[in-house]
């Protein structure tokens, strides 16, 4: 049973809940501690705690203890470069400390991606110079007349008009959108508002709509994805890509959209790990609705439910 972080958090704070809620979360906790329910933690849970750590370190140690106590260090993770999810035992505190160390090495600028001494750095400096010498198309400036969001997305490109500036802007946008949801929300709003204006591309939008619609019931999980799979890939694990890509498309279309881009990314990973279990349990209404839609679209048999409905649900055979 895969529990969203908010469920772990409720169990941790059950003494402060009203009697009905306390009864629900106490029952879930008891079943876990009696080994009648196995509930793994994942790197998405670790990411949830990392965001909290950056705001306030005070509560994180207790959260880690809760995660460790209830998961028994059972970990489910899609590691970089692997073509399938890994189930294993990994100490929660060690995983968190490792992720915290990785966070300290996160690059803050595009030109810092390769900045160490050696031939790779020299070659990258040459590449930066070549990008700076390559101008953007003459009509690139037209984009800024379309919507103010593009001024936010491409400030360097607007003034410097070269490919290096464009690369820097795209890198910066990916970082800023993670911190400020209004940027992502503005872009999504513009894309949705632009659809009816682009009549010349109506056929394209119809094809996209058909691809994003619920797949025919006669198609199974793998067949449905192969029908609509993009040519590029974001992961060596096709199942991981199936769910995360559909999650992003669903959010971008405006359906139960997340309030922060960082939450959207981590929630998509939670949804993937939930698909590896018998049950996915969440409190969040937005996550519940979106996960139910995605699992239905891709014929994932995992039961999606809220804690109060957990013991009334039945496993889909």
- 40 or 294, which is more confident: 40
Task: Verify that 221 and 152 share a domain, yes or no.
Answer: no
Task: Verify that 276 and 253 share a domain, yes or no.
Answer: yes
In the numeric block, which tokens belong to residue 48? Answer: 């949830």
Taking only the tens place, the pLDDT of each residue in 3-44 is: 999 999 999 999 999 999 999 999 999 999 999 999 999 999
pLDDT tier, 53 (very low <50, low <70, confident <90, very high otherwise): confident
Distances (CA, A) of 140 to 128, 151, 192, 293, 294: 20, 12, 21, 38, 36
- Average pLDDT value for the chain: 78
Q: pLDDT at residue 293 above 80?
A: yes
List Cβ neighbours of 306 (8 Å cut-off, separation of 6 or more).
Answer: 281, 282, 283, 288
Assigned domain for 269 exists:
yes
Assigned domain for 274 exists:
yes
Task: Verify that 123 and 218 share a domain, yes or no.
Answer: no
The residue from 210, 231, 261 where one domain ends is 210
Task: Verify that 114 and 180 share a domain, yes or no.
Answer: yes
Task: Verify that 171 and 301 share a domain, yes or no.
Answer: no
Assigned domain for 317 exists:
no
List Cβ neighbours of 235 (8 Å cut-off, separation of 6 or more).
Answer: 78, 241, 244
Task: Verify that 81 and 219 share a domain, yes or no.
Answer: yes
Assigned domain for 219 exists:
yes
Task: Verify that 125 and 54 share a domain, yes or no.
Answer: no
Task: Verify that 220 and 91 share a domain, yes or no.
Answer: yes
Task: Verify that 102 and 140 share a domain, yes or no.
Answer: no
In the numeric block, which tokens belong to residue 181? Answer: 């949801």
Distance between CA atoms of residues 81 and 84, nearest Å: 9
The residue from 175, 210, 245 where one domain ends is 210
From 210, 213, 131, select the one nearest 169 (Cα to Cα): 131
Taking only the tens place, the pLDDT of each residue in 128-169 is: 889 999 999 988 888 888 777 787 788 889 889 999 999 888
Assigned domain for 299 exists:
yes
Assigned domain for 49 exists:
yes
Range of the domain at 36: 2-106+214-312
The predicted pLDDT at position 17 comes to 94
The predicted pLDDT at position 91 comes to 97
Exposure class string for 200-213: b at 16+ Cβ within 10 A, else e? eeeeeeeeeeeebe
Task: Verify that 114 and 254 share a domain, yes or no.
Answer: no
Taking only the tens place, the pLDDT of each residue in 73-132 is: 999 998 877 778 899 999 999 999 998 887 665 566 777 766 555 556 677 788 888 999
The residue from 210, 239, 265 where one domain ends is 210
The predicted pLDDT at position 14 comes to 94
Q: What percent of the chain has pLDDT over 70?
A: 66
Task: Verify that 222 and 158 share a domain, yes or no.
Answer: no
Task: Verify that 99 and 6 share a domain, yes or no.
Answer: yes
Helix, coil or strand: residue 72: coil
Assigned domain for 163 exists:
yes
Assigned domain for 197 exists:
yes
Q: What is the pTM of this model?
A: 0.62
In the numeric block, which tokens belong to residue 208? Answer: 């996209």
Q: How many domains does the structure of the chain reveal?
A: 2
Distance between CA atoms of residues 264 and 185, nearest Å: 12
Helix, coil or strand: residue 254: coil
Please name the residue that has the structure tokens 């101008």.
Answer: 135
């Amino acid at each position: 049973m895969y529990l969203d972080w908010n469920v772990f958090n409720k169990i941790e704070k059950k003494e402060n809940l009203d009697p009905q809620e306390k009864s629900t979360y106490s029952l879930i906790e008891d079943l876990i501690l009696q080994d009648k329910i196995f509930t793994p933690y994942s790197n998405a849970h670790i990411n949830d705690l990392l965001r909290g750590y950056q705001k306030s370190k005070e509560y994180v140690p207790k959260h880690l203890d809760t995660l460790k106590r209830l998961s028994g260090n059972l970990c489910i993770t899609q590691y970089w470069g692997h073509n399938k999810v890994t189930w294993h035992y990994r100490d929660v505190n060690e995983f968190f400390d490792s992720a915290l160390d990785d966070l300290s090495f996160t690059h803050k600028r595009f030109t810092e991606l390769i900045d160490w001494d050696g031939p790779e750095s020299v070659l990258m400096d040459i590449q930066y110079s070549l990008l700076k010498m390559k101008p953007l198309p003459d009509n690139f400036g037209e984009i800024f007349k379309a919507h103010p969001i593009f001024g936010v997305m491409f400030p360097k490109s607007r003034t410097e008009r070269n490919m290096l500036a464009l690369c820097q802007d795209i890198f910066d946008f990916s970082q800023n959108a993670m911190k400020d949801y209004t940027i992502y929300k503005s872009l999504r709003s513009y894309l949705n508002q632009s659809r009816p204006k682009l009549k010349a591309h109506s056929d394209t939008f119809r094809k996209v709509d058909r691809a994003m619609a619920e797949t025919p019931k006669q198609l199974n999980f793998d067949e449905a994805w192969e029908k609509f799979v993009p040519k590029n890939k974001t992961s060596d694990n096709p199942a991981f890509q199936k769910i995360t890509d559909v999650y992003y498309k669903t959010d971008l279309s405006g359906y139960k959209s997340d309030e922060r881009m960082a939450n959207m990314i981590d929630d998509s990973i939670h949804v993937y790990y939930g698909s590896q279990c018998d049950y996915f349990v969440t409190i969040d209404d937005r996550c519940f609705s979106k996960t139910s839609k995605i699992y239905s679209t891709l014929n994932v048999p995992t039961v999606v439910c809220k804690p109060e409905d957990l013991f009334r649900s039945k496993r889909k055979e």
